Amino acid sequence: MKTYKIAVIAGDGIGPEVIDEGVKVLKKIAQLDGGFAFEFTHFPWGCDYYAQHGEMMPKDGIEILSAFDAIFLGAVGKPGVPDHISLWDLLLKIRKSFDQYVNLRPVKLLKGAPCPLKDVREEDIDMIFVRENSEGEYAGSGSWLYKGKPNEVVIQDGVFSRVGCERIIRYAFELAKQEGKSLTSISKGNALNYSMVFWDQIFAEISKEYPEVETHSYLVDAASMFMIKDPKRFEIVVTSNLFGDILTDLGAAIAGGMGLAAGANINPERKFPSMFEPIHGSAPDIAGQGKANPLATVWSASQMLDFFGYPQWGKVLIDCIEQVLCEGKVLTADLGGNSSTGQVGDEIISKLEERNC
């Protein structure tokens, strides 16, 4: 029987609360299927680990993780540890070290999910963001000169390589072709006169290889407006690291909230493990109270199942989430309910069990 080795980094704040439910759900699916199994190994890395050891993960953390088939991550960040340290030394380090250059983020209004927009049907919000996840504005290149002096200067470089732009744009075209959907590129060439002009040029070049794919190109400011005013314009979307970060929180807001927004950090060549996570953070405002919505994490578990070649199970999980949303009886407070994180996880489990009777 195939056993998938999963490294679990529950992390900080609500991370452990939501990841518990994700693990529970994956175990149940393996049990129901009977043809594969998961072996979970938990790593206590994160801000509490940092407080004890002075580092977010051990020096050989990346080497340890490289032996796994996938990583399941909760959230990272805790007041008291500077965010740029906690995130750069754990989450971003993993994305970069494992060349997880594709960040796949569905922005899809599930049946029963609340939407703040008026006159919008479920099918109007059905996008997949393909966010560049390895370079761009997140390259980590820059300098801090004359620190603390009156002439202090900081420089944060955006790094857009030809290889980096081509591979993410090509991935998005392949996805659009496979799904029979249009592809929209979001950039900002009018102001970012090197990086985004280059991005647009590469998008135009690669689009010639895919004459069957309908393409659109928007400036990021207009795209933000259209995501609210006319979301059905967008199907597959490709964009840079920072724009993808911002637009997918906006996407979460129109598709049920942060508690329903999932993401997969993929190394398409499968040379390194990919990482699955909710896109929300550690939510210190609700941490430790059993209030966190675990459905984003469950959705990311569904992405993991797709990735391992079980799209039928990925779909079953989405159906279960929709059932729970439509019934509206067992929901966390962000979705207007009064159930706990664990109760919502249990409800997904019982939907899975019911389907199998």
- Please give the residue ranges that form the binding site for ligand IPM (CB under 6 A): 87, 91-92, 245, 279
Partner interacting with residue 283 (select from ligand NAD, ligand IPM, Mn ion, none; CB below 5-8 Å by kind): ligand NAD
* Nearest one of 136, 214, 144 to 172, comparing CA atoms: 214
CB of 4 to ligand IPM, least distance (A): 23
CB of 129 to ligand NAD, least distance (A): 15
Half-sphere exposure of 346 (CA within 13 A, CB side): 8
Residue 227's SS3 state is helix
- Residue 245 lies near Mn ion (rule: CB under 5 A): yes
CB of 254 to ligand NAD, least distance (A): 14
Q: Per residue in 300-315, is it b (16+ CB within 10 Å) or e — as a string?
A: bbbbbbbbbebeebbe
User: Toward ligand IPM, which CB reaches closer, 243 or 308?
Assistant: 243
* Nearest one of 265, 261, 343 to 304, comparing CA atoms: 265
Say how many C-beta atoms besides its own lie within 10 A of residue 275's C-beta. 27
Residue 155 has phi, psi (to 5 degrees) of -130, 125
Asked if 65 and 56 count as a contact pair (C-beta separation under 8 A), the reply is no
Asked if 115 and 109 count as a contact pair (C-beta separation under 8 A), the reply is yes
Q: Tell me which residue has tokens 């309908």.
A: 214
Residues 278-307 that bind Mn ion (CB under 5 A): none
Partner interacting with residue 75 (select from ligand NAD, ligand IPM, Mn ion, none; CB below 5-8 Å by kind): ligand NAD
User: Toward ligand IPM, which CB reaches closer, 92 or 139?
Assistant: 92
Binding residue for ligand NAD, selected from 136, 281, 314, 345, defined by CB under 6 A: 281
Partner interacting with residue 292 (select from Mn ion, ligand IPM, ligand NAD, none; CB below 5-8 Å by kind): ligand NAD
**Ordered alpha helix ranges (H), the chain:** 15-33, 47-53, 61-65, 83-86, 92-97, 162-179, 195-207, 220-229, 241-254, 295-307, 311-327, 341-356
- Residue 22 lies near ligand NAD (rule: CB under 6 A): no
Stretch that binds ligand NAD, among 131-139, 154-162, 178-186, 279-287 (CB under 6 A): 279-287
- Residue 20 lies near Mn ion (rule: CB under 5 A): no
- Residue 132 lies near Mn ion (rule: CB under 5 A): no
Residue 161, token pair as written in the block: 């390589």
Residues that bind Mn ion (CB under 5 A): 245
Residues that bind ligand NAD (CB under 6 A): 14, 18, 75-77, 83, 87, 91, 258-259, 277, 280-286, 292-293, 296, 334
